[in-house]
């Protein structure tokens, strides 16, 4: 989730928050936005380098809701509709405009919102099957099923997807057209292949990718902390979590997992995004 206002206003934010490569497709960029101008301009800026944008209306964190982002937008359904409509009117198909939401306590309000977004031109809607106030309670499968059955747009189910079987079960029980996983994929990027824990080959591939793209150490290490959560015993996890340099990480992985770092020849390196290129939607908008 990228803050649209910072992305639009700050070159530093753009460089820090969005990086892609030629092989990184299909790609949808998720923004947090609380006004039409920021969301539309951010969408225009990434449109040459992505296949769509997603509006986050599901984040329940206090900082986000305090600033009018994430799940706070659920209290302003007309604004959500206008945000989608603005991007849809500015950038034509096949560019995707999607929304991620959480459930209302009254499922009828969830259905009304999704139907409104459907009429505004949304491509699909992801529904996290909890309300913003719910934390670790079981997801509301019946509510998700009802929303899915009442909305013509593809509904993507989200919540508690920590294995391939859980994804299949959510699809079977609700009829959702797709499944989204967050924490589950952080912990195991190979989840949808059926792997129970992160395979060593996945760790190897991550090292190769970060070598080619010169990924910042904090990002490299942060993802490995998640990926190794179920791979390493507690004592080794604590040791790994305390590492401070790429060299320390590489030595640790070589010693304990037999993983060696080597660059790979992918489908191209980092794309240098020119947000003011002649003919881009963003350039035309600010002339």
Active-site positions?
59
- Give the span between the Cα atoms of 97 and 54, in whole angstroms: 6
What are all long-range contacts of 138-145, with beta carbons under 8 Å and residues at least 24 apart? 140/103, 141/170, 141/173, 141/174, 143/103, 143/107, 143/110, 144/103, 144/170, 144/174, 144/176, 145/173, 145/174, 145/175
Neighbours of 49 (CB within 10 A): 19
183 is in an annotated binding site: yes
End-to-end CA distance of the chain, in Å?
28
Tell which residue, 18, 113, 112, has the closest CA to residue 58.
Answer: 113
171 is in an annotated binding site: no
SS3 15: helix
- DSSP class per residue in 191-209: GGGT-SS--HHHHHHHHHH
The reply to whether omega before 164 is within 30° of 0 (cis) is: no
The reply to whether omega before 231 is within 30° of 0 (cis) is: no
Binding site residues for FMN, as ranges? 30, 128, 182-183
Show binding-site residues.
30, 128, 182-183
């Amino acid at each position: 989730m990228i803050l649209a206002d910072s992305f639009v206003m700050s070159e530093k934010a753009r460089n820090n928050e969005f990086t892609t490569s030629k092989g990184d497709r299909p790609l949808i960029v998720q923004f947090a936005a609380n006004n039409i101008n920021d969301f539309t301009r951010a969408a225009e800026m990434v449109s040459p380098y992505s296949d769509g944008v997603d509006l986050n209306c599901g984040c329940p964190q206090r900082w986000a809701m305090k600033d009018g982002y994430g799940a706070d937008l659920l209290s302003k359904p007309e604004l959500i509709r206008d945000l989608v409509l603005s991007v849809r009117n500015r950038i034509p198909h096949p560019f995707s405009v999607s929304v991620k939401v959480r459930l209302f306590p009254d499922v009828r309000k969830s259905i009304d919102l999704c139907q409104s977004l459907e009429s505004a031109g949304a491509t699909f809607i992801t529904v996290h099957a909890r309300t913003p106030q719910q934390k670790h309670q079981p997801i509301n499968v019946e509510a998700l099923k009802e929303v899915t059955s009442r909305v013509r747009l593809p509904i993507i189910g989200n919540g508690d997807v920590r294995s391939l079987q859980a994804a299949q079960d959510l699809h079977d029980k609700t009829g959702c057209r797709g499944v989204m996983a967050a924490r589950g994929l952080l912990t195991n990027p190979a989840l949808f292949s059926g792997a129970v824990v992160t395979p060593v080959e996945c760790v190897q591939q991550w090292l190769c990718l970060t070598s080619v793209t010169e990924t910042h150490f904090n990002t490299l290490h942060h993802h490995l902390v998640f990926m190794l959560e179920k791979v390493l015993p507690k004592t080794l996890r604590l040791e790994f979590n305390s590492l401070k340099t790429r060299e320390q990480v590489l030595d640790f992985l070589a010693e304990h997992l037999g993983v060696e770092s080597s660059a790979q020849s992918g489908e191209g390196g980092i794309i240098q995004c020119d947000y003011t290129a002649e003919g881009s939607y963003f350039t035309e908008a600010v002339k």
